[in-house]
Amino acid sequence: MNRERAETYLRLLAEAELRDPSLPAPRSGDAPFVTAAIDVTRAAWALTVVGVLDLETAEAILADVELALSVRYRPPATVMAPARLGPGHFAGGRPLTRMSHLMPGLPAPASGPVPPDGADRYVPVGQMILFHDERVSGELDVMSYAHTAGGARFTAVWRTRDPLGARHHALPPVEAFSLADDRGQRYGLEFAANGRPGSSCDLILHPDPPPDIGWLEITAPGERAVRVDLARRAERPEPHVSQVTLSSGEHLLTRIAERLLALAPEHRMHWQPQLATAKLARPVANLATGLGATVAALEAAEVLPPLSPVPARLAGLCASLGIDDHGIAAAPALDLPEPWLSLLAHYHRRKPEAAPAGDGFAAVAAALPDLEGIRLVLLGLHNYDGGTWMEALVRGQLPDPRQRVLGLDMAFPVSMWVRDGTGRWHAARPAGWFHGADEAALTLRLTPPLTRSCAWLDVLATGQSAEVRATVPLCWGFPL
């Protein structure tokens, strides 16, 4: 890793941009401000994400580039205006370039301590709790129970309907639920959707129960009590941990590739080769733009080995997706990783519109071995509205996620894939998370969604230094 070369590369890239003869052309006739070229911003982003350049320096360089460009701006020749900046052409109304709101935090430090497992308790549940009152009815599909130093909670999916039976978006009235344990202690529930997008949630128990309770009885409005057996323990999958040696640059490029693979079906790209020249969906094109500069910046910073196969694989993936303007100098490779090929094959050879599995939820509670300074605990899987979501708890300190760049969550330091019972791979990418003290609620979205309710999943989690493979059994329940 060479910080000085990284910064020098970025500054020289900015110099080259200023020499660009197309510089005077604004982005559009009424562009309110001028921004740095995509190559410069992508290189800055990549160097910051891999930790070779600090955010403050990157922001300062981009701010200088923006200002340098804006003071050189001239209206297009067709516009009858004096050859000077008009007030509207300054970024004067906005602060200097800020990357921090765009940048993911740095990957979690590998040395960051994961809280000891100790009395942590993860229990698969798989029970449906019905409720109804005069305003709303519905169900809570409870997938798991987890009790850590951060507290005790159920992880569940919720659905509500109004009195006429139509789907309704009111929250379940959990404040009206009553809970009691096997010792007669009573609890209240707090509804928390932080880090749980869509219809999933955590139901936090107050006060914190003893660590060894045997069961909890939940009584919802208008329904009989349901006993949740907590004697079952979390699955302890026999994981296979192997060492990998990915540089931080290779890890970043791999994550970009996975994001491309996930984006393409979301934006219904044309997969048939004869349609490969069709215009790319904007998010896909945005993500692919500047990849050449990203690769060059990582090489300059010595965080991407010159002989690394990853740029060629990324170029190969772009070729498969019909992306031409990526700028990667390496010739496209054909030996793409198995999960990538699986996803490509799925969309190339089969109908992407194949019906996903019906709504359902699976009880899961499986703790994976520590990886990249975090421990991932799977707490549920559910299909809903054509999507598949995996609920999880992350133990250890994740960095502040901030806003994602192009949907890429680099603050989550692990690449996740799952393989279903038919051998098909699904990319699992963060769809939301929320930080507690030493843990975060995390929801992963599977692409493509599951098409059947398989009995188990192979989970593949890859960090920079190690890879974990584990088989996780699923116990499905289905909503009414």
Partner 1 sequence: MSVLPNDRWFDCLPGWQTQLPCGTGRHIVRWAAGSLDLPSHPDVEGELVLAALGGDRPRCVDLAQAWARHADDLSVLAIGPRGPQDRIVVDWDDVLAAEQAGEMAAGPASSMPMRLASPSGPTVARAGARRRQMQAERLKSQQRRNDVLSLLALGYGFQVRLIGQVAAAHASLDGGAQVRPALVAAITGRLAPVAEEWLGIDPDQVVVDLHPARSWGSSELAGYGPDRRLRISLPAGWLASVWACGLARVGRYLIVGVLEPGWPRARVLGLRSPGAEPEPLDVRADPDGQLDVPHWEI
> Which residues form the interface with partner 1 (CB under 8 A)?
3-4, 7-8, 10-12, 14-16, 18-19, 60-61, 63-65, 67-68, 71-72, 74, 83-87, 90, 92-96, 171, 190-194
Alpha carbon separation from 247 to 1, 76, 328 (Å, rounded): 10, 45, 18
For the chain, how big is the Rg over CA atoms in Å?
25
Cα 10 to chain centroid distance, Å, stands at 27
State the minimum distance, in angstroms, from the CB of residue 371 to partner 1: 28
Contacts of 120 (CB under 8 A, 6+ apart): 146, 147, 148, 149, 367, 395
Instruction: Decide whether 96 or 225 has the Cβ nearer to partner 1.
Output: 96
- In the bound state with partner 1, the residue whose beta carbon lies nearer, of 190 and 325, is 190
Judged by beta carbon, residue 434 or residue 456, the one nearer partner 1 is: 434
d(CA 207, CA 178): 13
Token pair in block for residue 97: 């370039």
Q: Which amino acid is at 324?
A: D
The nearer residue to partner 1, 2 or 465, going by C-beta atoms, is 2
Instruction: Tell me whether residue 84 or residue 279 sits nearer to partner 1 (CB atom).
Output: 84
> Distances from the Cα of 434 to the Cαs of 11, 367, 388, 401, in angstroms?
35, 19, 19, 9
- Shortest Å, Cβ 75 to partner 1: 11
Q: How far is the CB of 344 from partner 1 (least distance, A)?
A: 34
Q: Which is nearer to partner 1, 323 or 398 (CB)?
A: 398
Residue type for position 52: V
**Rounded least distance, CB 37 to partner 1, Å:** 14
Q: What is the DSSP letter of 149?
A: T
* In the complex, least distance from residue 190 CB atom to partner 1, rounded to whole angstroms: 7
Cβ closer to partner 1: 194 or 219? 194
Q: Which is nearer to partner 1, 15 or 385 (CB)?
A: 15
CB of 255 to partner 1, least distance (A): 27
Closest among 372, 395, 391, 371 to 381, alpha carbons compared: 391
We find the least distance from the C-beta atom of residue 107 to partner 1, in angstroms, to be 22
Side-chain-facing half-sphere of 96: CA atoms under 13 Å? 12
Residue 454 CA neighbour count, 13 Å, CB half: 19
Burial of 332 (0-12, 13-18, 19+ CB in 10 A): middle
DSSP 8-state symbol, 99: -
CB of 5 to partner 1, least distance (A): 8
The count of C-alpha atoms lying within 13 angstroms of the C-alpha of 221, restricted to the half-sphere facing its C-beta, is 12
Take residue 139 and report the two structure tokens written for it.
């169900």
> Considering only CA atoms, which of 148, 142, 123 is closest in space to residue 203?
142
Q: In the chain, what is the greatest distance between 2 CA atoms, to the nearest angstrom?
A: 83
Give the total residue count for the chain: 480
Q: 88 vs 358, which CB is nearer to partner 1? A: 88
- Beta carbon of residue 423, minimum distance to partner 1 (angstroms, whole number): 39
Q: Which is nearer to partner 1, 264 or 301 (CB)?
A: 301
CB of 402 to partner 1, least distance (A): 12
